A and B are shown apart, each in its own frame.
Chain A
């Protein structure tokens, strides 16, 4: 039975505790200060917002059909 308590203490509680520590660090580090900018860090001048980056299936049937509809 003692192994269960070891597990609960060592893992269920401590694992959650690491998350609490991380949360404190993030708050003190100002990670939650400017959420709007945070969401945009994956974009920049090279690949700005509004630019799709994976257009592999272009030039396929839908386009040709469109061209046929409006000659």
Chain B
């Protein structure tokens, strides 16, 4: 801490000694997270590309079943699960961990502690994902959605995550600010709940070996809560940090943000059984989950109002900041996907949409338009602060944004329409089953094309990220914020 205690001489406004001396500077904290965060980001991007290719193959097979039909390990049942798991555990979870580590250190106002623990966790996690996906492709899938990894891969993931959870506790204990910011509540919750969910589900399924009705319950309790208690809190933690931070304005209502967090924390774990509407399952449990789903409008609406009111008067900033573009797109999608999710929990609507592509559209809206877009935005903010250089090309960032945005909107649109057509016909006993399949084919072709746009966006981003790792980013006197700081002799120097 002493290295940055002296305020730089050329800075315009003198910084009071007390503020700089007591707590480590922001740049120094950022620098301390460099290695683990970049490792998680790099690995996440690798799986994003792999997952995109898996997704493409799976999507293409839906309208052209003879495509790559000669390889057993590329059959739809395997490649589709490989896509889901590469995206959920390879990409989304590792991006979440990277963003979580960086935010945690910043919000604790303390340099990163126990970095080696995190490096071991990265290694174990990626080993687990690689073994798991190889297992799925080899035909060892568990056939339980979201938990397809074979039993020999899951302990590695659990161990890796356990290390991260312990790290989060150590880090939280070393915090230098008394107040726990709303983002930090979300982070702590996510770091604590995910191992709980993952451990419980795997012990019940692999250890105790539940089956039948109980297996369905465990499956969807996990499958839904992993979204709501792992991805959602990390996404919202990032949104609650980056929106105010980028526009330079505190959250509109801190009361609402507290209400949003605590209502999510108290009620979310009752969600999940509404995935089993109409199934051979205790009706009271399904009803309890439907009620919990409807309760979720409280955190969703409070968060939506809060983010909108924070942004009010600052929407022009969307034209200046890549981070803000991605994060606001994600935050808006969060509102849409959550309210759509509530509607899908109603029995009447579920009867039409269940077992159709409508559900697939909903899943992509959640994990991509909401979560992945917020992760992209966060990475655009974090990476330059770790590599000490600017993104090479603002044009590539724009291309990435528009390919991703149009791609996911198109995918959501065509899959939703396909799903509704499919659902309406499935409910009509006069219509032959094959027609309910044929009606979706043009939409599925359009979906494959939207997937190509998304895959293109991912490759662009990965190349851009690679250039940053090689320190080939811009360092010229461009008028970006980061450069201004460097030339002011500001805190950036403290990082090296």
Asked if A42 CB lies within 8 Å of chain B CBs, one says yes
Interface size class of A (residues with CB under 8 A): 35 or more
Complex contacts, A52 vs chain B, CB 8 Å: 246-248, 317, 320-321, 481
Q: Are B381 and A54 in contact (CB under 8 A)?
A: yes
Residues of B within 8 A of A36 (CB): 254
Q: Which of B32-40, B173-181, B328-336, B447-455 lies at the interface with chain A?
A: B173-181
Chain B min CB distance to A41 (Å):
5
Interchain CB contact under 8 A, B478 and A59: yes
Number of residues on chain B facing chain A (CB within 8 A):
71
Query: Is B200's CB under 8 angstroms from A58's CB?
Result: no
Cα–Cα, bound, A31→B181 (Å): 9
Within the complex, the shortest CB–CB distance from A67 to chain B, in Å, comes to 14
Tell me the number of A-to-B contacts counted with CB atoms below 8 Å.
158
A3-B204, A42-B244, A55-B480 given as contacts; is B26 within 8 A of A47 (CB)?
yes
B interface, over-half SS:
helix
Binary interface profile of B, 246-284, with partner A (CB < 8 Å = 1, else 0)? 111111001101100010011101100000000000100
Given A22-B265, A42-B181, A56-B394, the answer on whether A7 and B204 have CB atoms closer than 8 Å is yes
Q: Is B218's beta carbon under 8 Å from chain A?
A: yes
Check A71 for interface membership: any CB of B closer than 8 A. no
Query: For B321, what are the chain A residues with a Cβ–Cβ distance below 8 Å?
Result: 52, 54-57
Chain A residues at the B interface, C-beta cutoff of 8 Å:
1, 3-4, 6-8, 10-12, 15-16, 18-20, 22-23, 26, 31-32, 35-60, 62
8 extra A-B contacts, CB within 8 A, seeds A32-B258, A49-B249: A8-B285, A16-B266, A22-B188, A23-B266, A40-B250, A46-B15, A51-B248, A54-B381
Interface residues of B (CB under 8 A from A): 13, 15-16, 19-20, 25-26, 107, 177, 179-182, 185, 188-189, 192-193, 196-197, 200, 204, 208, 210, 213-214, 217-218, 221, 229, 241, 244-251, 254-255, 257-258, 262, 265-267, 269-270, 282, 285, 317, 319-324, 380-381, 390-391, 394, 397-398, 478-481, 490-491
